[in-house]
């Protein structure tokens, strides 16, 4: 570990929210959403750390080395053999926390990309190494792949290596965001250890069909978003969300639980009549770009 020059002036990174699973693509499919967190870091004299948080969950997250952005930034710097300097970090949070919209992945990928942008004269981590580090921190590759690459991503683990491919898609999206969160750990804890061969086969076919539906056959989205592996088992933790998914699907709207929930994702626009009281509605596009440095003016 050596001291290393860092870039002068602040560096800003924008990272998209993401929706994982998309129904049948459990822990494999991810979609970047045009909702962004923004991180700005500036090197300051000394070796201190100042963390400022604005927006979503500003009163809930730590403001020291425990902050997920800082932990991810430190992990990336460590891989590059660089010691963190004195730093002022400002996090402008727009992605809702605990709602199945990839807030932790946005923080992880944003922190890693910020670290890469801060250093000067060091061989940066490439996308593959960035994805691997993000997966190691997050524990699964679907959301972090979408946050890093943008668009529609298919992610998997090859041995111990995280891999992903990106596809361009254009599809209308509506997010129904409930007022109360559900933790990813709690949602995963409701999943069974074993599922039937028939259910697994159905989901495999639907996941393959979903890739085709999103890239070339949108008229197949209703069938392609059918899931038997996770949503029904999590219904008890988010009954209003599951009820909304079923109501939308009865009306012919392709709808799924976003990630681990409780946000509902509909592949449509103009379907806001069904929203429960107190929920937010976000009509968004797919984010073409993953986490990226914002040019200075």
Confirm or deny that 223 is annotated as ligand binding: no
Which two tokens mark 185? 């750990």
Confirm or deny that 101 is annotated as ligand binding: yes
193 Cβ neighbours under 8 A, 6+ residues apart: none
- At residue 58, the 3 state secondary structure works out as coil
Confirm or deny that 201 is annotated as ligand binding: no
Confirm or deny that 103 is annotated as ligand binding: yes
Provide the sign of the torsion angle of the four alpha carbons 28, 32, 33, 39, taken in this order: positive
Confirm or deny that 97 is annotated as ligand binding: yes
Strands 87-93 and 49-55: parallel
Confirm or deny that 238 is annotated as ligand binding: no
Q: What angle do CA 189, 162, 135 make, to 5 degrees?
A: 50
3-state helix/strand/coil string of 181-241: CCCHHHHHHCCCCCCCHHHHHHHHHHHHHHHHHHHCCHHHHHHHCCCCCCCHHHHHHCHHH
Confirm or deny that 121 is annotated as ligand binding: no
Confirm or deny that 105 is annotated as ligand binding: yes
Q: What angle do CA 135, 126, 288 make, to 5 degrees?
A: 75
Contact in structure between 42 and 10 (CB atoms under 8 Å)? yes
Confirm or deny that 102 is annotated as ligand binding: yes
Phi–psi pair at 289, nearest 5 degrees:
-105, 145
Confirm or deny that 100 is annotated as ligand binding: yes
Beta strands in the chain (DSSP E): 11-21, 25-43, 49-55, 87-93, 152-158, 161-167, 173-177, 255-257, 264-266, 280-284, 292-293
d(CA 148, CA 88): 23
Confirm or deny that 104 is annotated as ligand binding: yes
Q: Which residues are annotated as a binding site for ATP?
A: 96-106
Q: Which residues are annotated as a binding site?
A: 96-106
């Amino acid at each position: 570990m050596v001291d290393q020059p860092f870039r002068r002036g602040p560096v800003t990174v924008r990272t998209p929210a993401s929706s994982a699973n998309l129904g049948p693509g459990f822990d494999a499919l991810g979609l970047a959403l045009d909702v962004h967190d923004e991180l700005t870091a500036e090197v300051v004299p000394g070796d201190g750390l100042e963390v400022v948080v604005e927006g979503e969950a500003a009163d809930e997250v730590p403001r020291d080395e425990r902050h997920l952005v800082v932990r991810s930034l430190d992990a990336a710097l460590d891989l590059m053999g660089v010691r963190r300097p004195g730093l002022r970090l400002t996090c402008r949070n727009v992605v809702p926390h605990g709602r199945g919209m990839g807030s932790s992945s946005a923080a992880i990928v944003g922190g890693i990309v910020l670290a890469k942008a801060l250093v000067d004269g060091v061989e940066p981590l490439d996308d593959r190494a960035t994805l691997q580090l993000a997966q190691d921190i997050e524990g699964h590759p679907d959301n972090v792949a979408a946050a890093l690459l943008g668009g529609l991503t298919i992610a998997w683990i090859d041995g111990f290596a995280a891999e992903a491919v990106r596809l361009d898609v254009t599809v209308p999206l509506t997010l129904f965001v409930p007022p109360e969160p559900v933790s990813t750990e709690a949602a995963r804890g409701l999943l069974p250890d074993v599922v039937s061969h028939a259910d697994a086969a159905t989901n495999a076919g639907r996941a393959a069909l979903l890739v085709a539906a999103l890239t070339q056959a949108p008229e197949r989205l209703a069938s392609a978003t059918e899931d038997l592996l996770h949503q029904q088992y999590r219904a008890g933790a988010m009954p209003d969300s599951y009820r909304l998914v079923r109501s939308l699907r009865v009306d012919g709207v392709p709808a799924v639980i976003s990630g681990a929930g409780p946000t509902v994702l509909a592949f449509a626009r103009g379907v806001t009549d069904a929203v429960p009281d107190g929920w937010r509605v976000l009509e968004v596009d797919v984010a073409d770009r993953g986490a990226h440095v914002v040019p200075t003016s």
